[in-house]
A = this chain, B = another copy of it.
Amino acid sequence: MTDKDITIRLGAAAGDGIQSAGEILTRMLSMSGQYVCTYNGNQSLIRGGHVWFHIHAGNWRVTSLGNGIDYMLALNQIAFDEHIGKINQGGAIIFDPKTVKAGTIPAGVTPIRLPLTEIALKYDKRPLMKNTVGIGALAALLGIDRKEIGEVIQLQFGSKGKQIVEGNVNAALEGYGLAAKSFVPTKSLEFDYSKKRMFTHADFALAAGAVNAGCKFYAAYPMSPASPILHYMAINAEKMGISVLLAEDEIAAMCATIGAAYAGARAMCATSGGGFALMQEALGMAAMNETPIVVVDVMRAGPSTGLPTKTSQGDLNMMLGISQDDFPRVIIAPRNSEETFNTMGRAFNIAEKWQVPVIVLLDFGIGDGGYSTVDNLDFEEPIDRGKLLTEVGDEGTWFKRYELTDDNVSPRVLPGTPNGMFVAKTDEHDEYGHDLSDVEAGLQHAVEKRVEMMNKRMGKLTGIAVEMNLPEVAGPADADVTLVSWGSTSNPIREAMRQLWAEGVKVNSVEFCDLFPLRWKEVAKMLRKARHLIDVESNYTAQMAGLIARETGIMIEDRLLTYSGEPLEPAEVVEKVKNVLKKEIGVSVRNKAL
């Protein structure tokens, strides 16, 4: 089996149905045995403007958006103009000459002029189906079996009735027929119709993973690109018995999550950076009163409102500095949908075992903004609730909820348990949860107890670090260049490395999924092995490089940074590595639109 892959892009105005067209195509490819990776070129508006849907598909595990565009469907003028320059040699662009005026078409790119609107109007009064015609045409270029079209359209539109399904199928097949006639594919895929692959974005994967881990409480205030998690919970609430709270703001969402966790539920809330900013004070509360919660930030390009539908990895510093003074927190940034699903059981286990807040960081690029194939979902991560008592002996007025122990974790009890009364306290407190801040404050014994309590809480980080995963090293141990990344940025790196390896370049990558706490001495050892480090991140200040420097003293001076809102393309990584090998060292910034 040789490796084959292809990139496809669909462009139109918001409201033209390009999202659903892209999904149909993604489904078609997944049902033909392809691995997929997609990206939504969204805008922060509801109708109009220009949106696009990009697909990278192949018979190997594609992780990123590939390079350039092989086949393009341009439903309006701006789609044509904006993307024509990115079409690869040997590629093609489908458009309706009635609505799109083709300018100069680059040599090596085939224009495929199809009467998309005319065909669409055959099946409906409004020309909405023109994208269905386009999908059919794309399917032809890809060489997908005609009968897949019917199946997938049935899946997508089944609920809308037979007539709509048939209309769409016929429209697609007409597009298929015409395109097949007008173009001899230059690139092809290897289909295996027996392999039906699943795909999803990390938001849904996260929600599903959380529910599988026993999450029964979810609170949120809507915020892009985290809203799909809320929608997932809402739609499944009844079937799964999840209490969903549409809170009046993010502060309430976070506090209710803490209340639910305190009362015993596995509880979670999610938002994006701006909402997370508001949750910070309460997150400090959870850490202080040792209530286990899982909190999700699906990052988008900021600062402030920024670019709500664009991607970024700009919130790491916020996670390192959440609210006032020092307290333990755990930060995990899964790299893709599959890893996200598989992380959630672990996230809840760490939260409950160590009685700390666990933060899961996603970004628009792999969250709401991009599907990828999920092959290996682990439903069986054991549930570990840590030191959770179900019974307490009658030993006095109050229960020692914050008992000092060797591992810094105290036995926990839930309201409703006889003899277990305690106060979950945000003031500094003694082992029963009583104030050290009022009549005791400043007295020698209270000062000592305060220090012990700080040591207890912060000491957990040492224990947690032992359980955290070190960064994964991908590629050969012996490499001239080592790319350092975290979360989603590892995806274009993986594809870039394939390309570089093929060209004989010795490159590997150190990819952080677990970010904090870590066994930093071991991380330092790993990094010191590298001959030359390049930090690759999607933010202005190289926040992960900052964390690495803070914890190890290792300064990664060579950097590939993007903060344009657009995800990195593998080609940019390839170029950076080659430049570095040519001794062009320093900080590189990308500002291209995808």
Tell whether, in the assembled complex, residue B287 and residue A326 are in contact, meaning their CB atoms are under 8 Å apart.
no
CB proximity of A179 to chain B, nearest CB, Å: 27
Tell whether, in the assembled complex, residue B540 and residue A458 are in contact, meaning their CB atoms are under 8 Å apart.
yes
Tell whether, in the assembled complex, residue A305 and residue B426 are in contact, meaning their CB atoms are under 8 Å apart.
yes
Closest to A275 in B: B281
In the complex, whether A550 has a CB less than 8 A from a CB of chain B is: yes
Stretch at the interface among A170-178, A200-208, A433-441: A433-441
In the complex, whether A48 has a CB less than 8 A from a CB of chain B is: yes
A306–B312 CA distance with the chains assembled, in angstroms = 34
- Report if A273-B447 is in contact (Cβ < 8 Å); known contacts: A41-B442, A43-B437, A427-B305: no
In the complex, whether A591 has a CB less than 8 A from a CB of chain B is: yes
- Report if A325-B302 is in contact (Cβ < 8 Å); known contacts: A277-B284, A563-B454: yes
26 A-B contacts (beta carbon < 8 Å): A41-B442, A43-B438, A48-B439, A49-B438, A274-B324, A277-B281, A277-B323, A278-B278, A278-B280, A285-B304, A288-B302, A288-B306, A299-B325, A303-B325, A303-B457, A304-B426, A304-B427, A305-B427, A306-B324, A310-B441, A312-B325, A317-B321, A318-B324, A442-B594, A553-B554, A553-B555
- Report if A49-B325 is in contact (Cβ < 8 Å); known contacts: A288-B303, A304-B288, A427-B305: no
- List A residues 34-71 near B (Cβ within 8 Å): 41-45, 48-50, 52
In the complex, whether A344 has a CB less than 8 A from a CB of chain B is: no
Q: Report chain B residues within 8 Å CB of A288.
A: 302-306
In the complex, whether A309 has a CB less than 8 A from a CB of chain B is: yes
Tell whether, in the assembled complex, residue B306 and residue A44 are in contact, meaning their CB atoms are under 8 Å apart.
no
Q: Report chain B residues within 8 Å CB of A546.
A: 550
CB proximity of A313 to chain B, nearest CB, Å: 9
- Report if A427-B326 is in contact (Cβ < 8 Å); known contacts: A278-B281, A540-B458, A593-B443: no
- Beyond the given pairs A49-B440, A277-B281, A284-B304, 12 more chain A to chain B contacts, judged by CB atoms under 8 angstroms and listed by A's residue number, are A52-B442, A276-B324, A281-B304, A287-B303, A305-B425, A306-B325, A307-B428, A320-B320, A443-B593, A447-B593, A448-B591, A553-B555
Q: Report chain B residues within 8 Å CB of A44.
A: 427, 435, 437-438, 441
In the complex, whether A322 has a CB less than 8 A from a CB of chain B is: yes
Closest to A592 in B: B447
In the complex, whether A405 has a CB less than 8 A from a CB of chain B is: no
- List A residues 293-333 near B (Cβ within 8 Å): 299-310, 312, 314-315, 317-327
In the complex, whether A155 has a CB less than 8 A from a CB of chain B is: no
Tell whether, in the assembled complex, residue B565 and residue A307 are in contact, meaning their CB atoms are under 8 Å apart.
no
> Which of B307, B319, B320, B541 sits near A441, CB closer than 8 Å?
B307
A244–B79 CA distance with the chains assembled, in angstroms = 53
User: Using an 8 Å CB-CB cutoff, how does the interface string of A263-288 with B read, 1 for contact, 0 for none?
Assistant: 00000000011101110110011011
In the complex, whether A532 has a CB less than 8 A from a CB of chain B is: no
Tell whether, in the assembled complex, residue A303 and residue B326 are in contact, meaning their CB atoms are under 8 Å apart.
yes
In the complex, whether A82 has a CB less than 8 A from a CB of chain B is: yes
Tell whether, in the assembled complex, residue B553 and residue A439 are in contact, meaning their CB atoms are under 8 Å apart.
no
Tell whether, in the assembled complex, residue B326 and residue A318 are in contact, meaning their CB atoms are under 8 Å apart.
no
User: Using an 8 Å CB-CB cutoff, how does the interface string of A319-351 with B read, 1 for contact, 0 for none?
Assistant: 111111111000000000000000000000000
Tell whether, in the assembled complex, residue A307 and residue B436 are in contact, meaning their CB atoms are under 8 Å apart.
yes
Tell whether, in the assembled complex, residue B324 and residue A541 are in contact, meaning their CB atoms are under 8 Å apart.
no
Tell whether, in the assembled complex, residue B565 and residue A441 are in contact, meaning their CB atoms are under 8 Å apart.
yes
CB proximity of A361 to chain B, nearest CB, Å: 11
A48–B589 CA distance with the chains assembled, in angstroms = 61
Closest to A326 in B: B540
CB proximity of A249 to chain B, nearest CB, Å: 10
Tell whether, in the assembled complex, residue A325 and residue B539 are in contact, meaning their CB atoms are under 8 Å apart.
yes
Tell whether, in the assembled complex, residue B539 and residue A549 are in contact, meaning their CB atoms are under 8 Å apart.
no
In the complex, whether A535 has a CB less than 8 A from a CB of chain B is: no
In the complex, whether A159 has a CB less than 8 A from a CB of chain B is: no
Q: Report chain B residues within 8 Å CB of A592.
A: 444, 447
Tell whether, in the assembled complex, residue A444 and residue B326 are in contact, meaning their CB atoms are under 8 Å apart.
no
Closest to A546 in B: B550
In the complex, whether A450 has a CB less than 8 A from a CB of chain B is: yes
Closest to A327 in B: B303
Q: Report chain B residues within 8 Å CB of A435.
A: 44
In the complex, whether A564 has a CB less than 8 A from a CB of chain B is: yes
In the complex, whether A5 has a CB less than 8 A from a CB of chain B is: no
Q: Report chain B residues within 8 Å CB of A446.
A: 593
- Report if A563-B317 is in contact (Cβ < 8 Å); known contacts: A281-B274, A304-B426, A553-B553: no
In the complex, whether A566 has a CB less than 8 A from a CB of chain B is: yes
In the complex, whether A451 has a CB less than 8 A from a CB of chain B is: yes
A264–B314 CA distance with the chains assembled, in angstroms = 31
- List A residues 10-48 near B (Cβ within 8 Å): 41-45, 48
